[in-house]
Amino acid sequence: MKIVNLIVKKRESEVLTKEEIDFFIDAYTKGEITDYQAAALLMSILLNGMNSQETTDLTLAMANSGDILDLSGIVDVAVDKHSTGGVGDKTTLVVGPIAAACGLPVGKMSGRGLGFSGGTLDKMESITGYRTDLTTEEFLDQLKNKKIVLAGQSADLAPADGKLYALRDVTGTVPSMPLIASSIMSKKIAAGAQKIVLDVKLGNGAFMENLEEARELAEIMVKIGKLAGRETVAVLSDMNQPLGHAVGNALEVVEAIETLQGGGPEDFVGHCHEIGIHMLMLGGVADSEEEAREKVLGVISDGSAWEMFKVLVVSQGGDVKEIEDTRLLPKAEFIETVKLSRDGYIAEVNARKIGELSVNMGAGREKKGDPVDHAVGVVVHTKVGDKVQEGDPLFTIHVNKENLIELAKNEMMDAYKFSDSKVKPLPLFYGVVK
Ligand code: URA
């Protein structure tokens, strides 16, 4: 088999067979296919799509590219959650500890920034010493003993996704339904999750811009989960404006900590509660939504979710002093707040533009393997629907290069729209696919 024939076939919108997909994944994982040929195939898939059989075959090939963990002897039930990617989405940092504090072990394999969306690993690595490169043995050991793990793909779990993910990030091949579905579900299957909550985002700051596409992505992932024997629930959530206020690695860690300690922005808190409730119900820790909500609120108010976050950080080598005193986390050299020059209502806070800006500021990557700047990003002080007055803070930029200050301010202004008349706030959720 020759990779160039597969590229041509997909370029011509033909259907790839299971053997062809297995060949591609196996050879690319072994380093026998170049990045430029893999990128050409990914682009053809992005442009011409895959049917549900091809998507399932791709997912299983990627899951089988390395070991598949069996967690049944380690924990009674392992629940995982995964987001399809958004701007300001630090949900995992909060719901992982919440679920674990409620007695539901969380063994999570996360990703890095992808395109304009942030990545959990990059956020956690804002904490000095925090290790995301656990071996499988370390992953299992920590899950068994600490009930919470938040790591990257080890070389032996879904290595094909590890390689393709980094390639997609820098080749414009992220927003593709089959590529997202296979990337997420292969990781979840390989890491041994028995129950999975998917946070499928939709809007201008998500890879699926409308409800129809997001529902289709949710349905295919739920179907793949079922085929693989992993009960999966997908929640459709809004990503037209950043989630919460903070966008940027260390800034998001700070917001997650505030939320774990009982504060946090209203929309982000509501979002975390909802995802947490789904995790508890799916994991059998709560029988009803009310019971799950009580548990979620309980572990925040009694401090045990925050304690669980500290357990996670310490277990993975992170400096606990930095999360106890967040002033010690990386901080940008130039921090400037822009204030409103008019009264009115906030009509738009374009998440995509803010995500792209934060990548350009250094929070994301231009090339594979680029380092990220953990300190930079933006904080939005207003959300769609807010009534505002001249002089109110609109946003704060955190940059490390002086020449980016004006550019960042201008691009942030470009992300906003204002109105003189009342604007409806955006919904948090659009539905659930089971
Ligand atoms: N998250 C992933 O793990 N993969 C994607 O392709 C998108 C979001």
Tokens representing residue 132 in the block: 């995301």
Q: Are residues 88 and 45 in the same domain?
A: no
Give the separation between CA 31 and CA 221, rounded to whole angstroms.
28
Tokens representing residue 298 in the block: 């309980």
- 240 burial (CB, 10 Å; 0-12 / 13-18 / 19+) is buried
Cα–Cα nearest to 179, from 226, 111, 278, 81: 111
Give the separation between CA 381 and CA 416, rounded to whole angstroms.
12
Q: Are residues 208 and 299 in the same domain?
A: yes
Give the separation between CA 374 and CA 370, rounded to whole angstroms.
12
Ligand 1 nearest atom to the CA of residue 85, by list position:
8
For ligand 1, the distance from its centroid to the CA atom of residue 183, given in whole angstroms, is: 5
Give the separation between CA 130 and CA 318, rounded to whole angstroms.
4
Which residues on adjacent β-strands are paired with residue 208? 202
pLDDT at 32: 97
Residue 32 lies inside a defined structural domain of this protein: yes
The closest residue, in CA terms, to atom 2 on ligand 1 is: 184
| pTM higher than 0.85 | yes
Which CATH number covers residue 162? 3.40.1030.10
Q: Are residues 385 and 318 in the same domain?
A: no
Q: Are residues 248 and 355 in the same domain?
A: no
Q: In what order do the strands lie in the sheet with 387-388?
A: 387-388, 344-349, 416-419
Model confidence pLDDT, tens digit, residues 344-391:
999 999 999 999 999 999 888 888 778 899 999 999 999 999 999 999
Query: How many domains are there within the chain?
Result: 3
Domain boundary among 276, 298, 324: 324
Model confidence pLDDT, tens digit, residues 165-189:
999 989 999 999 999 999 999 999 9
The answer to whether 236 touches 211, Cβ cutoff 8 Å, is: yes
For ligand 1, the distance from its centroid to the CA atom of residue 82, given in whole angstroms, is: 8
Q: Which residues line ligand 1 (CB under 6 A)?
A: 84-85, 111, 114, 179-180, 183-184, 187
> How far, in Å, are 79, 142, 144, 158, 397 from residue 148 at the CA level?
10, 7, 8, 20, 33
pLDDT at 372: 93
Specify the 3-state DSSP secondary structure of 377.
strand
Residue 70 lies inside a defined structural domain of this protein: no
Residue 72 lies inside a defined structural domain of this protein: no
Q: Are residues 256 and 376 in the same domain?
A: no
Alpha-carbon torsion 35, 83, 80, 372, what sign?
A: positive
Spatial neighbors of 418 by CB under 8 A, at least 6 apart, are 342, 344, 345, 346, 347, 388
Q: Are residues 302 and 370 in the same domain?
A: no
Q: Are residues 149 and 23 in the same domain?
A: no
Q: Are residues 264 and 337 in the same domain?
A: no
Residue ranges, the chain, pLDDT below 50: none
For ligand 1, the distance from its centroid to the CA atom of residue 203, given in whole angstroms, is: 16
Domain boundary among 301, 324, 347: 324
**Catalytic residue ranges:** 82, 161, 168, 183, 187
Q: Are residues 113 and 203 in the same domain?
A: yes
Site to probe by mutation for ligand 1, drawn from 91, 92, 109, 114 as the one with most ligand atoms within 8 Å of Cβ, is 114
Residue 424 lies inside a defined structural domain of this protein: no
Q: Are residues 43 and 154 in the same domain?
A: no
Residue 152 lies inside a defined structural domain of this protein: yes
pLDDT at 382: 96
Terminal-to-terminal C-alpha distance of the chain: 38
Domain boundary among 300, 324, 348: 324
The parent domain of residue 406 ranges over: 332-419
For ligand 1, the distance from its centroid to the CA atom of residue 369, given in whole angstroms, is: 17
Residue 432 lies inside a defined structural domain of this protein: no
Q: Are residues 242 and 336 in the same domain?
A: no
Q: Are residues 265 and 132 in the same domain?
A: yes
Which CATH number covers residue 343? 3.90.1170.30
Give the separation between CA 35 and CA 20, rounded to whole angstroms.
17
Residue 97 lies inside a defined structural domain of this protein: yes
Which CATH number covers residue 44? 1.20.970.10
Spatial neighbors of 140 by CB under 8 A, at least 6 apart, are 69, 71, 74
Spatial neighbors of 134 by CB under 8 A, at least 6 apart, are 142, 149, 151, 152, 154, 316
Give the separation between CA 226 and CA 198, rounded to whole angstroms.
13
Residue 266 lies inside a defined structural domain of this protein: yes
